[in-house]
Every structure is written in C-alpha cells, then in structure tokens.
Amino acid sequence: MTTTPLPAEGQPPASTPDGLFPAAVEDLRHRTRDFIRSTVIPAEPRPGQALNMDVRRELAVAAREAGVFAPHVPVEFGGQGLAVEHWSPVFQEAGYSPIGPAVLNAMAPDEGNMHMLNLIGTSDQKQHFLAPLAAGDISSCFAMSEPHPGAGSDPSALATTAVRDGTGWRITGHKRFTSGATLASFAIVMARTGPSGPGRADAATMFLVPLNTPGVRIGAPIHTMDKYLPGGHPHVHFEDVHVPDSAVLGEVGLAFKYAQVRLGPARLTHCMRWLGLARRSMDIMLDRANTREMFGAHLSQLGIAQEMIAQSVIDVETSDAVIAKCAALLAVDPKAGAALSSVAKVHCSEAVYRVIDRAVQLCGGDGVSDGLPLIQYLNEVRPFRIYDGSTETHKWAIARRAASGRRRAVDSGEPFLGTARIHEGET
C-alpha cells in the first residue's frame, strides 16, 4: 500500500486545500475512515453486546495491513507516528464505530498508558511494557481511583502506599474502577511514597506492576451501563506486593506531575473518540429526518426537527474546535494544555450526550429499541460525564484557574489580558 509519510513535529508537508491538516494526516484520516466503514462497522456486535476478542484480533490484523493501526504510537514501536496536535481527525474517524478505537489499539486506558510510557519510561520499560502494548499483544490498566475515603476526584486523598523494603518497594492498597484490569497484563499504579498533606506534590510515585505479581488480586467487577471497553472496571487489591526499584515509572515522588502528562491528553482523546460517535448518531438522525414523512412533510422540513438538527451541528462543531485548540496547546505547553483539557472534557462530554440524545428523540420508538444503536450509544457516553473527573469537579477547577489567572494579570499590572492567562493559574 502506498501512503504519504506523516510529518515530523514542527515540519508539516503541504496542507490540505482547506489548510486544516497536513496532507499526510488527511491521507491517514481518509484511510481510517474507509477502514472503519468497510471493515469494522460490518463486524460490530449487536447493541449492548461486547466485542468478541477473536473478532477483535482479526480486525487488528486487518488494521495493520491497512496501515491504520496505532495511529498515535511512534513508528519505532509499530504505530503511525501521528503527532498529538493531529490525533483528533483520525481518532474521530476511529470513534465513528464504538469498537473502532479498540480495533485500532487507540482505546483507553492503553492509549494513555502508551503515551506516558513513551514520554517518561526507561529503555527497558519501553521494551518490556510499551513495545508489546503498542503491538496489541497485551493490554494494561491505570490504577488510581480508590474507594472512599481514598483518591477519586481528589487525588491528594491517595491511600495506597508503597514502602521501601531494602530490595525494592512493597505496595498495599485497594483500587476501584480500574478500567481494563480484567484483561490487563500490567497496571500503572499510583501509590503514596511520602507524607500526605495540602500542597505535597512530591507525595506519590507511579509503579509498573505486572498483574501476575504475588499479592495482586482482581476483585469484584463493577457493573456499569457502558459495554464496549474491554476488561471492565473491577476492584483491584494490592496486598503487600513486592516490586523492584526498576518498577518505578519516572522519578520517585513525581506521580502527580506525571498524572497530568497522561490525563490531559487522555481526557482529550476520549473527547475525540466520542465526538466520532456523535457524528455517527447525527448521520442516523439526518437519514431519518430526510426520509420520514410527518404531517405532509419530511421531518427535516419541520421547524422543531430543524432546531434539534441545528443545535447538534453547533455542538459538534464547537466540540471539534475546542479539541483542536487544546491539542495544539498540548503540543507546545503540556501544562496549559492539561488545564484547557478540563474545559474540553466538560464541553464535549455534555455536548456529545446532547447530540446522541436528540438523535434518540428524533428517531422516536426506533431510537430506544435495538433496531438502531442509538440508545446503546447514549449508554456508552453517559458515564463520560463522570469518568476522568466529573463535570462538576472540572468546573470547580476551571473556576479556580480563571480566578487565579485574573489575579495574576492584575498583580502584574496588565489588567486587560482577558482570558489569556486562565490556563496559567492554579492546577
């Protein structure tokens, strides 16, 4: 297959006619679009059913042959080498099918773990964890959330501990909502390694823990309304788990800093994938509106349906715009990009839900049946308003940053900066 080489970061080739993306990115987007529609959509399970793992493996082989597998992974690890600022158009095409991201190995939590391993992993860690993960030979999970009163929306409440024992570390704790853990080969575990307290940014460390390590136990599953994430969301118990010093990911005490490296892009890629599914839902809605007659006219000619369609177009386009801005910022200023990802996450999770809900409503009885996939799509995206930080938690953080940014502007003697420094405030 002849493909256009992807651009190196900062050195894009000739752009597409509209100037939005380099030509090579547009080429990958079109090939991903064709692959999803021609190969993945015909293999989708019925609404509410999980993707058969044998089917997933067969589709992954086909994705490699089509040159669309692992778009975000560096070429040296078998991916397409797409720069973060160009992920969105390709991830949206993958997300047009609810199983598309998993087939392309661009699904959470693996996608976020690959990104972080590539940025801060050692050569040995990349060889033993990133390489097989990028190839799709294994899967992973990210163990941060804990039962109350442990870490949830407030990561400073981290209760899992890791204590030095002379030959490494011993990890003890209880994690919950550890997405993907049932099928995972290893976990990236957040554990407290220093004193707790307000402002203690050096209190936690990340560890790479194979899930077959003695003392690791997969606990009870948490049954949720979403069905398409492989591996579920179970409890995971770490009972005096010994790991060597080589298990430390990055540096001791910097887990909260690294979490932002991972969570900012991971929030955004969720937005990208679900926006693709919103586009699919809008297509279903428009097909119904253009063919269903009511009161002597097609639905698309009735004012109330036109209002629903127009609002959905607005939601899709504004989501696309904030994703693009955040992705561009992440490429040049990861800290500010991570802050803006809170805005993107809130806006997109709410907007995507509205789009799919309108599609269900406009399709009437068929919208809530399994004759159309819409109601399952709604079940899939509803948890996103909670996962990766609830809408309310992010709004709290957004407001704090805005107030802090404004104070900094006034104190610096430049009181007319508007929102320019919103994302330079408190994190």
- pLDDT (0 to 100) of residue 121: 96
**Distant-in-sequence, close-in-space partners of 93: CB < 8 Å, separation ≥ 6:** 29, 32, 33, 36, 100, 276
pLDDT at 300: 87
Residue 320's contacts (CB-CB under 8 Å, 6 or more residues apart) are 88, 92, 275
Closest to 282 measured CA to CA, from 350, 385, 381, 363: 363
Indicate whether 31 pLDDT > 60.
yes
Closest Cα to residue 79, out of 43, 110, 123, 48? 110
pLDDT band at 422 (very low <50, low <70, confident <90, very high): low
The stretch 157-166 carries a mean pLDDT of: 93
DSSP-derived 3-state class of residue 122: coil
Q: What is the pLDDT of residue 4?
A: 44
Average pLDDT on 98-113 reads 95
What is the per-residue pLDDT across 239-279, written as a single tens digit (0 to 9) for each?
A: 999 999 999 999 999 998 888 778 888 899 999 999 999 99
Report DSSP letters for 254-290, one per residue. -HHHHHHHHHHHHHHHHHHHHHHHHHHHHHHHHHHHH
Mean pLDDT of 362-390: 94
pLDDT of residue 415: 62
Domains and CATH numbers, the chain: 23-134 (1.10.540.10), 140-254 (2.40.110.10), 257-424 (1.20.140.10)
Identify the CA nearest to 108 among candidates 279, 273, 224.
273
pLDDT surpasses 50 at 8: no
The residues pairing with 162 across neighbouring beta strands, listed in sequence order, are 171
| For residue 191, pLDDT beyond 90 | yes
Enumerate long-range contacts of 8-14, CB under 8 Å, 24 or more apart: 8/83, 9/83, 9/85, 9/331
- For the ranges 5-9, 237-241, 353-357, 418-422, which has the lowest average pLDDT? 5-9
Look at residue 252 and give its three-state secondary structure.
coil
Mean pLDDT computed over 372-394: 93
**pLDDT tier at 293 (50, 70, 90 boundaries)?**
confident
User: For the chain, how far is it from start to end, CA to CA, in angstroms?
Assistant: 45
Express each pLDDT in 338-370 by its tens digit: 899 999 999 999 999 999 999 999 999 999 999
Distances in Å between the alpha carbon of 4 and those of 7, 12, 15, 92, 152? Answer: 9, 12, 12, 20, 43
Q: Which residue has the tokens 């969105």?
A: 88
Whether residue 208 is predicted with pLDDT greater than 90 in this model: the reply is yes
CB atoms within 10 A of CB 106: 30
Torsion angle in degrees (nearest 10) through CA of 338, 341, 346, 347: 160
Can you tell me which residue has the tokens 């179970």?
Answer: 234
**Are 166 and 196 spatial neighbours (Cβ–Cβ below 8 Å)?**
no
Average pLDDT over residues 44-58: 89
What's the confidence (pLDDT) of residue 78? 94
CB 176 within 8 A of CB 241: no
pLDDT of residue 16: 41
What pLDDT shows up at residue 19? Answer: 55
Residue 91: which pLDDT band, with cuts at 50, 70 and 90? very high
Written as one string, the DSSP assignment of 300-360 is GGSHHHHHHHHHHHHHHHHHHHHHHHHHHHHHH-HHHHHHHHHHHHHHHHHHHHHHHHHHH
Return all residues near 287 (Cβ < 8 A) that are at least 6 apart. Answer: none
The mean pLDDT of the chain is 89
Contact present, 87 and 26 (Cβ < 8 Å): no
φ, ψ of residue 217 in degrees (nearest 5): -135, 125
pLDDT band per the 50, 70, 90 thresholds, residue 202? low
pLDDT at 391 over 60: yes
Average pLDDT over residues 277-292: 96
The torsion angles phi and psi of 34, rounded to 5 degrees, stand at: -65, -40
Q: What count of residues does the chain have?
A: 427
User: Helices then strands (H, E): number in the chain?
Assistant: 13, 10
Mean pLDDT of 65-88: 96
Residue 95 has pLDDT above 70, yes or no: yes
Residue 412 has pLDDT above 90, yes or no: no
- pTM here is 0.90
**pLDDT at position 51, please?**
85
